[in-house]
Amino acid sequence: MNILVVEDELKTARHLDRGLRAAGFEVQTCASAEQGLLTCAAHRFDALVLDVMLPGMNGLALVHQLRSSGVATPVLFLSAKDATEDRIKGLNEGGDDYLVKPYSLPEVVARLRALLRRGGQTGNAQRVEVADLVWEPGSRRISRMGKHVDLTPKEYALASLLLNHLGEVVSRNQIIQAVWGLRTTVEGNSVDVQVLRLRKKLDDPFETKLIRTLRGVGIVLEAPDA
Protein backbone atom coordinates (compact mmCIF):
# COMPACT_ATOMS: atom_id res chain seq x y z
CA MET A 1 0.00 0.00 0.00
CA ASN A 2 1.35 3.33 -1.11
CA ILE A 3 0.77 6.39 1.08
CA LEU A 4 1.56 10.03 0.35
CA VAL A 5 2.11 12.25 3.39
CA VAL A 6 1.93 16.03 2.91
CA GLU A 7 3.25 17.73 6.03
CA ASP A 8 5.43 20.84 6.31
CA GLU A 9 6.79 20.20 9.81
CA LEU A 10 9.87 18.08 9.26
CA LYS A 11 9.73 16.38 12.66
CA THR A 12 6.10 15.34 12.24
CA ALA A 13 6.71 14.21 8.66
CA ARG A 14 9.61 11.99 9.78
CA HIS A 15 7.57 10.60 12.65
CA LEU A 16 4.72 9.67 10.28
CA ASP A 17 7.11 8.30 7.68
CA ARG A 18 8.79 5.99 10.19
CA GLY A 19 5.57 4.94 11.87
CA LEU A 20 3.74 4.13 8.65
CA ARG A 21 6.70 2.23 7.24
CA ALA A 22 6.88 0.23 10.46
CA ALA A 23 3.20 -0.63 9.93
CA GLY A 24 4.03 -2.02 6.49
CA PHE A 25 3.09 0.89 4.21
CA GLU A 26 5.23 2.40 1.49
CA VAL A 27 5.53 6.11 2.13
CA GLN A 28 6.39 9.22 0.16
CA THR A 29 6.46 12.64 1.84
CA CYS A 30 6.01 16.19 0.51
CA ALA A 31 6.42 19.45 2.43
CA SER A 32 3.88 21.51 0.48
CA ALA A 33 0.49 21.14 -1.21
CA GLU A 34 1.99 22.30 -4.51
CA GLN A 35 4.55 19.50 -4.34
CA GLY A 36 1.77 17.11 -3.32
CA LEU A 37 -0.24 17.97 -6.43
CA LEU A 38 2.69 17.27 -8.73
CA THR A 39 3.46 14.02 -6.94
CA CYS A 40 -0.18 12.91 -7.22
CA ALA A 41 -0.15 13.66 -10.93
CA ALA A 42 2.90 11.47 -11.45
CA HIS A 43 2.19 8.53 -9.11
CA ARG A 44 -0.72 6.50 -7.92
CA PHE A 45 -1.36 6.31 -4.16
CA ASP A 46 -3.75 4.17 -2.15
CA ALA A 47 -4.33 6.93 0.41
CA LEU A 48 -3.21 10.46 1.25
CA VAL A 49 -2.40 11.81 4.72
CA LEU A 50 -2.64 15.60 4.61
CA ASP A 51 -1.83 18.30 7.11
CA VAL A 52 -4.46 21.05 6.88
CA MET A 53 -2.19 24.02 7.67
CA LEU A 54 0.49 24.19 5.01
CA PRO A 55 2.50 27.13 3.70
CA GLY A 56 1.00 28.44 0.44
CA MET A 57 -1.92 26.32 -0.65
CA ASN A 58 -3.49 24.54 2.34
CA GLY A 59 -4.59 20.92 2.66
CA LEU A 60 -8.26 21.71 2.03
CA ALA A 61 -7.48 23.49 -1.25
CA LEU A 62 -5.24 20.59 -2.25
CA VAL A 63 -8.06 18.07 -1.83
CA HIS A 64 -10.51 20.36 -3.58
CA GLN A 65 -8.19 20.50 -6.56
CA LEU A 66 -7.47 16.78 -6.58
CA ARG A 67 -11.17 15.95 -6.49
CA SER A 68 -11.99 18.36 -9.30
CA SER A 69 -9.35 16.73 -11.45
CA GLY A 70 -10.82 13.30 -10.82
CA VAL A 71 -8.46 11.91 -8.17
CA ALA A 72 -10.65 9.83 -5.84
CA THR A 73 -7.87 8.56 -3.55
CA PRO A 74 -9.05 8.42 0.11
CA VAL A 75 -7.80 11.32 2.24
CA LEU A 76 -7.07 11.43 5.96
CA PHE A 77 -6.68 14.99 7.25
CA LEU A 78 -4.41 15.79 10.17
CA SER A 79 -4.96 19.11 11.85
CA ALA A 80 -4.17 21.18 14.88
CA LYS A 81 -7.57 22.79 14.61
CA ASP A 82 -10.27 20.95 16.50
CA ALA A 83 -13.22 23.28 15.94
CA THR A 84 -16.22 21.35 14.65
CA GLU A 85 -16.54 23.82 11.81
CA ASP A 86 -13.07 22.94 10.53
CA ARG A 87 -13.81 19.23 10.67
CA ILE A 88 -16.94 19.70 8.63
CA LYS A 89 -15.09 21.88 6.16
CA GLY A 90 -12.39 19.24 5.75
CA LEU A 91 -14.93 16.57 4.96
CA ASN A 92 -16.90 18.86 2.66
CA GLU A 93 -13.77 19.53 0.62
CA GLY A 94 -13.59 15.82 -0.15
CA GLY A 95 -11.62 14.49 2.80
CA ASP A 96 -12.69 11.07 4.04
CA ASP A 97 -11.59 11.26 7.67
CA TYR A 98 -10.12 13.72 10.13
CA LEU A 99 -7.71 13.40 13.05
CA VAL A 100 -6.87 16.24 15.39
CA LYS A 101 -3.32 16.77 16.65
CA PRO A 102 -1.97 15.47 18.92
CA TYR A 103 -2.87 12.04 17.59
CA SER A 104 -1.22 8.71 18.27
CA LEU A 105 0.47 6.81 15.47
CA PRO A 106 -1.56 3.62 16.05
CA GLU A 107 -4.68 5.75 15.58
CA VAL A 108 -3.38 7.08 12.25
CA VAL A 109 -2.65 3.52 11.12
CA ALA A 110 -6.06 2.26 12.23
CA ARG A 111 -7.90 5.08 10.43
CA LEU A 112 -5.84 4.54 7.28
CA ARG A 113 -6.62 0.83 7.25
CA ALA A 114 -10.33 1.60 7.65
CA LEU A 115 -10.16 4.09 4.76
CA LEU A 116 -8.33 1.62 2.54
CA ARG A 117 -10.94 -1.06 3.23
CA ARG A 118 -13.73 1.33 2.29
CA GLY A 119 -11.81 2.62 -0.74
CA GLY A 120 -11.20 -0.92 -1.96
CA GLN A 121 -14.92 -1.62 -2.03
CA THR A 122 -15.96 1.38 -4.06
CA GLY A 123 -12.77 1.92 -6.06
CA ASN A 124 -13.30 -0.82 -8.61
CA ALA A 125 -16.92 0.05 -9.24
CA GLN A 126 -16.05 3.52 -10.52
CA ARG A 127 -16.18 3.68 -14.27
CA VAL A 128 -17.40 6.31 -16.68
CA GLU A 129 -18.37 5.52 -20.27
CA VAL A 130 -18.86 8.07 -23.04
CA ALA A 131 -19.49 6.58 -26.48
CA ASP A 132 -16.44 4.29 -27.00
CA LEU A 133 -14.42 5.98 -24.23
CA VAL A 134 -13.98 4.28 -20.86
CA TRP A 135 -12.53 6.10 -17.85
CA GLU A 136 -11.48 4.21 -14.72
CA PRO A 137 -10.46 6.90 -12.20
CA GLY A 138 -9.32 4.33 -9.63
CA SER A 139 -6.55 3.12 -11.92
CA ARG A 140 -6.17 6.46 -13.79
CA ARG A 141 -6.89 4.68 -17.05
CA ILE A 142 -8.58 6.09 -20.12
CA SER A 143 -9.24 3.92 -23.16
CA ARG A 144 -11.06 4.29 -26.46
CA MET A 145 -12.42 1.33 -28.45
CA GLY A 146 -10.68 -0.87 -25.89
CA LYS A 147 -7.30 0.75 -26.56
CA HIS A 148 -5.42 2.40 -23.70
CA VAL A 149 -4.72 6.11 -24.35
CA ASP A 150 -1.33 7.06 -22.94
CA LEU A 151 -1.52 10.57 -21.42
CA THR A 152 0.99 12.81 -19.64
CA PRO A 153 0.00 13.98 -16.12
CA LYS A 154 -1.18 17.36 -17.51
CA GLU A 155 -3.18 15.74 -20.29
CA TYR A 156 -4.71 13.34 -17.79
CA ALA A 157 -5.61 16.24 -15.46
CA LEU A 158 -7.39 17.99 -18.33
CA ALA A 159 -9.15 14.82 -19.49
CA SER A 160 -10.39 14.00 -15.99
CA LEU A 161 -11.60 17.58 -15.51
CA LEU A 162 -13.68 17.24 -18.69
CA LEU A 163 -14.94 13.80 -17.69
CA ASN A 164 -15.94 15.06 -14.25
CA HIS A 165 -17.98 17.75 -15.98
CA LEU A 166 -19.39 15.54 -18.68
CA GLY A 167 -21.62 17.51 -21.05
CA GLU A 168 -20.84 20.79 -19.27
CA VAL A 169 -18.74 23.57 -20.72
CA VAL A 170 -15.43 23.91 -18.86
CA SER A 171 -13.92 27.42 -18.81
CA ARG A 172 -10.29 28.43 -19.34
CA ASN A 173 -10.05 29.27 -15.64
CA GLN A 174 -11.22 25.83 -14.61
CA ILE A 175 -8.64 24.31 -16.95
CA ILE A 176 -5.85 26.48 -15.55
CA GLN A 177 -6.77 25.54 -11.98
CA ALA A 178 -7.01 21.82 -12.69
CA VAL A 179 -3.89 21.55 -14.85
CA TRP A 180 -1.48 24.14 -13.44
CA GLY A 181 -2.80 24.91 -9.96
CA LEU A 182 -4.52 27.82 -8.25
CA ARG A 183 -1.59 30.16 -7.84
CA THR A 184 -0.05 29.91 -11.25
CA THR A 185 -0.20 32.44 -14.03
CA VAL A 186 -0.29 30.70 -17.37
CA GLU A 187 1.26 31.98 -20.61
CA GLY A 188 -0.98 33.20 -23.44
CA ASN A 189 -1.73 30.12 -25.52
CA SER A 190 -0.75 27.35 -23.05
CA VAL A 191 -4.39 26.34 -22.51
CA ASP A 192 -4.98 26.02 -26.27
CA VAL A 193 -1.78 24.03 -26.66
CA GLN A 194 -2.81 21.68 -23.86
CA VAL A 195 -6.28 21.17 -25.37
CA LEU A 196 -4.71 20.52 -28.77
CA ARG A 197 -2.36 17.90 -27.30
CA LEU A 198 -5.18 16.10 -25.55
CA ARG A 199 -7.30 16.15 -28.69
CA LYS A 200 -4.48 14.72 -30.75
CA LYS A 201 -4.34 11.65 -28.52
CA LEU A 202 -7.91 11.30 -27.33
CA ASP A 203 -9.96 12.37 -30.37
CA ASP A 204 -7.95 12.57 -33.61
CA PRO A 205 -7.22 8.84 -34.01
CA PHE A 206 -10.90 7.94 -33.57
CA GLU A 207 -13.94 8.42 -35.74
CA THR A 208 -16.26 9.67 -33.00
CA LYS A 209 -15.18 13.14 -31.84
CA LEU A 210 -15.94 13.83 -28.18
CA ILE A 211 -14.21 17.16 -27.46
CA ARG A 212 -15.77 20.36 -28.76
CA THR A 213 -14.50 23.94 -28.48
CA LEU A 214 -17.01 26.73 -27.93
CA ARG A 215 -15.14 29.83 -28.98
CA GLY A 216 -14.74 32.36 -26.17
CA VAL A 217 -16.59 30.10 -23.72
CA GLY A 218 -14.60 26.92 -23.16
CA ILE A 219 -14.56 23.26 -24.10
CA VAL A 220 -16.91 20.37 -23.51
CA LEU A 221 -16.58 16.60 -23.66
CA GLU A 222 -19.71 14.66 -24.60
CA ALA A 223 -21.02 11.96 -26.88
CA PRO A 224 -21.91 13.56 -30.27
CA ASP A 225 -25.61 12.67 -30.07
CA ALA A 226 -25.97 13.92 -26.46
3-state secondary structure of 148: strand
**Cα angle: 157, vertex 129, 194; to 5 degrees:** 25
Residues 62-81: x where in contact with Ca ion by CB under 5 A, - otherwise, as a string = --------------------
Nearer of residues 31 and 166 to Ca ion, judged by Cβ: 31
Q: Does residue 158 contact residue 164 with C-beta atoms inside 8 Å?
A: no
Nearer of residues 69 and 79 to Ca ion, judged by Cβ: 79
Residue 86 interacting with Ca ion (CB under 5 A): no
Q: Does residue 4 contact residue 30 with C-beta atoms inside 8 Å?
A: yes
> Which of 34, 46, 51, 155 contacts Ca ion by CB under 5 A?
51
> Which of 1, 41, 53, 100 contacts Ca ion by CB under 5 A?
53
Count of alpha carbons within 13 Å of 190, Cβ hemisphere only?
14
> Residue 53 Cβ, how far from Ca ion at the closest point, in Å?
4
Please, is 217 exposed, middle or buried when counting C-beta atoms within 10 Å of its C-beta (0-12, 13-18, 19+)? Answer: exposed
Nearer of residues 78 and 151 to Ca ion, judged by Cβ: 78
> Residue 179 Cβ, how far from Ca ion at the closest point, in Å?
26
**Rule CB under 5 A: which residues touch Ca ion?**
8, 51, 53
